[in-house]
Amino acid sequence: METKPTNSIHSFRSKFYLLLIGLSFALVVSCNNEETTPDFSSEDMQDANLDAIEDSYFDDGDDLITEAFTSTDEDASGGRVNTDERLLCATLSRTGSKAEGNLRIDFGTGCTGPRGNVRAGAIVVTHQGDWNSVGSSWNVTYENYSINGVQLEGTRTVTIVSATDSLVVADVRLTNGKITWPDGRVATREVNRRREHERHPGNHLLDRIIIYGTTNGVLPNGTIITIEILERLIYRRACAAEGVFIPVSGVKLIKAGDRELTVDYGDGTCDNVVILTNKNGRSVRYEVKN
């Protein structure tokens, strides 16, 4: 006698078909991931992140010095005096003359800026020549200076190459650079770059910083690192005001041991996102964390 399938058989068949569908879907996803997910190591991601932060913190110091000089310059004009919110809780002191003197930017035991960055300690500058005139030079050192718990050390020399009301060009050299992270990790850094500051006295937010040159050093894990800027890095002050602490365009090449990584900062959009490409030609979108 013929019998009809029981409910349990129907249930089994349904589950079996769902399992097949699920496995097929998983296989498709797996294949797609193999095609689109680059073979990046954690070291690749860490290299890009550490380099971006170290760069931005040292460059932030240069920018603070420019703003502090302007704020304490008796001849400052164009509505730029005391407009930088990062300096509102710092003590600025300037001695000597315009031709030769010292500048001290002191954040004390801790000072929280408008974007939540906490700066402590002091940046000390000795300048020869009027600070923004051709041929003048700044000698920058750091006294227990840190930003977000990351301590910076070394001697940074800035030499003004050319200067107009709208563009100041300087050579920047960092020697004996040292970065100590809050967890005790230590990296070293040497920099030889050119820095162009496009100034817009009528609208400070239109200012841009353009940087190109080379860097070398040692990562916290002991790996030697060299960095070459392939396409000029551009920082926009309007983006910095939105919390973007990395360049918004430009390309750099990072070599760390036997690994190579190209970092593309984008097309000018205000974000902390980069495209990383390894030496195998595989790429991934990555958000740099401060």
pLDDT tens-digit map of 149-205: 999 999 999 999 999 989 999 999 999 999 999 999 999 999 999 999 998 877 878
Element housing 12 (H / E) = helix 7-36
Three-class DSSP category at 174: strand
Q: Is residue 257 part of a domain?
A: no
More confident site: 133 or 32 = 133
Please, are residues 128 and 100 in contact by the beta-carbon 8 Å criterion?
A: yes
pLDDT for res 31: 33
Q: Is residue 160 part of a domain?
A: yes
Q: Is residue 163 part of a domain?
A: yes
Question: Closest Cα partner for 152 from 186, 180, 121, 185?
Answer: 180
Question: Closest Cα partner for 174 from 122, 222, 248, 227?
Answer: 227
Rounded to whole angstroms, how far apart are CA atoms 270 and 208? 13
Question: Closest Cα partner for 252 from 212, 218, 196, 285?
Answer: 212
Q: Is residue 254 part of a domain?
A: no
Q: Is residue 22 part of a domain?
A: no
pLDDT for res 184: 95
Q: Is residue 8 part of a domain?
A: no
Q: Structural domain of residue 195, as residue ranges?
A: 40-216
Q: Is residue 282 part of a domain?
A: no
Q: Is residue 186 part of a domain?
A: yes
Q: How many domains does the chain have?
A: 1
* 146: β partners: 120, 151
| Strand 283-287 versus strand 273-278 pairing type | antiparallel
